[in-house]
Every structure is written in structure tokens, then in C-alpha cells.
Amino acid sequence: MQSDTLLQVRGLAVEFQIGGQWTRVVNDAWLSLARGETLGLVGESGSGKSITSMAVLGLVSELGGRVASGSVRFDGEEVVGAKQGVLRRLRGQRIGMIFQQPRRSLNPAFTVGDHIAETIRRHSRVSRAEAWKRAVSLLDRVGIPRAAERASDYPHLFSGGMCQRVMIAMAISCEPKLLIADEPTTALDVTVQAKVLELLRELVRESGMAMLFISHDLTVVSEVTQRVAVMYAGQTVEVGTTRQIFSQPLHPYTKALLASIPGAGRQQRLKVIDGSIPPPTRMIPGCRFNPRCDCRLSDQCQSRPVELVEMPDERSVRCLRADLAVAS
């Protein structure tokens, strides 16, 4: 069981300096990901999804933040506090990452082939020519037509979807065990989005790598993931299989999220969650969702922090009233 676990994030807290004060942006994040599994990480903007993924790569300090507590174990090794050399071997080689804005994630001064060849040459001793050859075959693999020619084109000649394919080629160039996809399709239009998702699913199936799929688009998440973790205000609030989360959500926030998915042909007004996510500079005591929750208890929910607790069927939830949901 233990060796099946590829990634385990426990009680992670990350701080950034906001107005001179170290402020917790991620407070109590828990994730675990088995080999070959695709986990969806969902939540609103600012809920700490991306920061959590950066912590997995050990990139928090590069972004000017620090890990305050908690642990991130990847493939049996601790990432928090690991040496730079160890982290550099992790990044790109064992963990690949793709970003939200593909066109901004490519360096305009290099050809797309250079990008991929650089990643390969960072992590394995191969000649320039060999790296280029591999880059071309990777571009071909991710569905770029005339890959050999296009490898020497610059990113501005590519559309957003094509840039994302290039990013994917970069990310999988060293056959990583984990692919982190940080809102990979948010900046793309719907048809392109579907194609990129299909490509990702195909790659995951073929290579057996695990994928951490970060998104706020629940429809997309339901299509590609096996398990889902929901984050709210820097905390993991619910974890379960995709089926469990979508058919029987336990946390009121998850329920509210699901209720606010727009459906085609639906005539009634779209449900929204009243209020907004509290800013990290002004954290509320007690359950962080309580001001927006319609089943809060006036004292317990507002007085002390709520822990993430294990529930039957290998799921967990951070809610004192989860029993309500189970009963119904």
C-alpha cells in the first residue's frame, strides 16, 4: 500500500509576505496520489491550488515564499527542505509541469524545439543532435503537424492550443512519474480544450504516469480524474473518488460548487455561493467556510478550527456536519 503512494502532502502550510507580514496562503493541505492515478485539485481562484503544486516541486522559495510546516513526500523522498540539487533532478525529470497560459510559458527568444531539447539535456547526457531528434519525435507525439519543420519555429508562430501541446511535450520529455497540470485548458477555447484533454488522458494511459490535475472547471475534472480533492481558503476540505464527490458530496462547499455548474438548456437562474473566499490576510476563526455556509452551527463552527477527518470508504472531509450529508 505504502509503495503504491507516489505523492503525499500532509498538513502543508505555505506563507508569503503580504505587506511585510508573513501570511499563510495555504494552511492545511492534504493530498495523496497513487502511481498512475489522476487526482483533480479543485477550488476557487486563490484557494491555494497552484501554491500547493509549487510546493510539490519545491519551488516555493523561488517564488518568494516559505513552507511553514507540513511535509511533501514524493516517491519516498521528502521535498520540503531538500537540497537544490535534489530538487533540480525532481523538476522536469520526475515531475513535469504544464501551466495555465501556454503562450506565456514559452520563452519568446527560443524555438519550441530548443525548449524541449533543453529539458532533455538538463536531465540526461545526450548530444545536442540526439536531444533535438527526441524533441521532434515528442512534438510529433503530442500531435504537432510537420513536427520536424515546426521544431525550429518560435513560440509566437503557434496558437494557444499548439503552445500547450509544446508544453506537454516538454513536460513529458523525461518520462516523469507525475505530471502537474495547472489549469491546462483554462486559456483555451472549448474545442481545443477537448483535444488537449484527450491528449493528456491518452498520455497518462500509455505511460502510466500519475497526474495532478488542477482546475476550477468541475465538468473537465469529472471527465479526466479518478479522485478529487477540494480546496477552500488554503485548506483541503474534502477528498474522495470522483464518483463520490460528484454524486454524494459531504462538504457544504463542494455541494455549493456542484450546484453552481451551469447546465445547457437549464432555464432557472444559476445558483451562486454568496460572499467570497476570505483573503489570507484576514482569516476567520473556526470553519473557514462558515460565513457562507447554510448549515453552520452557531457555536462549534465559528469558534475553533475544524480538522480534516477520515470518513468511511476512504474519503475525508473537513466539516462538523458531514454526518448530516451521510444521513441524507
Partner 1 sequence: MRKAIYYAAVAVLAVVVMLAILAPWVAPYDPNAQDLLGRLQPYSAEHWFGTDEYGRDQLSRLIFGARVSLLAAVEVVAVSFLIGVPAGVLAGFFPGLVDGALSRVSDALMSVPSLVLALTIVAVLGQGLVSAMFAVGIVFSPRFFRVARGSTYEVRQETFIEASFAIGCSWWRVAWRHVLPNAMSPLVVQMAVVLGAAITAEASLSFLGIGVQPPTASWGGMLASAYSNLFEAAYLIWAPGVAIAATVLAFTIIGDEARVVLGTRQPVGA
Residues forming contacts to partner 1 in the complex (CB under 8 A) are 57, 59, 62-63, 84, 88-93, 96-97, 99-110, 118-119, 122-123, 155-156, 160, 163, 167, 170, 187
Nearer to partner 1, 91 or 296 (CB): 91
Shortest separation between residue 244's beta carbon and partner 1, angstroms: 31
Nearer to partner 1, 180 or 322 (CB): 180
Q: Rounding to the nearest 10 degrees, give the CA dihedral for residues 278, 279, 285, 291.
A: -10
CA distance 303 to 284: 9
CA distance 47 to 237: 11
Shortest separation between residue 132's beta carbon and partner 1, angstroms: 16
Computed from CA positions of residues 132, 136, 137, 139, in that sequence, does the dihedral angle turn out positive or negative? positive
Shortest separation between residue 103's beta carbon and partner 1, angstroms: 3
Shortest separation between residue 165's beta carbon and partner 1, angstroms: 15
Angle value at C-alpha 162, between 161 and 165, nearest 5 degrees: 90
CA distance 237 to 253: 8
Mention every residue, 6+ apart, whose C-beta is less than 8 A from residue 264: none
* DSSP tag of 229: E
**Helix or strand (DSSP H, E) at 74:** strand 65-74
Nearer to partner 1, 42 or 166 (CB): 166
Nearer to partner 1, 89 or 292 (CB): 89
Shortest separation between residue 186's beta carbon and partner 1, angstroms: 11
CA distances from 17 to 22, 116, 164, 187, 211 (A): 4, 34, 31, 28, 30
Shortest separation between residue 63's beta carbon and partner 1, angstroms: 7
Shortest separation between residue 98's beta carbon and partner 1, angstroms: 9
Nearer to partner 1, 181 or 320 (CB): 181
Q: With H, G, I as helix, E, B as strand and everything else as coil, classify residue 83.
A: coil
Nearer to partner 1, 100 or 316 (CB): 100
Of 310, 309, 305, 272, nearest in space to 288 by CA: 305
Angle value at C-alpha 99, between 168 and 83, nearest 5 degrees: 95
Q: Which three cell numbers stand for residue 156?
A: 509566437
Shortest separation between residue 93's beta carbon and partner 1, angstroms: 6
Nearer to partner 1, 106 or 147 (CB): 106
Nearer to partner 1, 75 or 118 (CB): 118
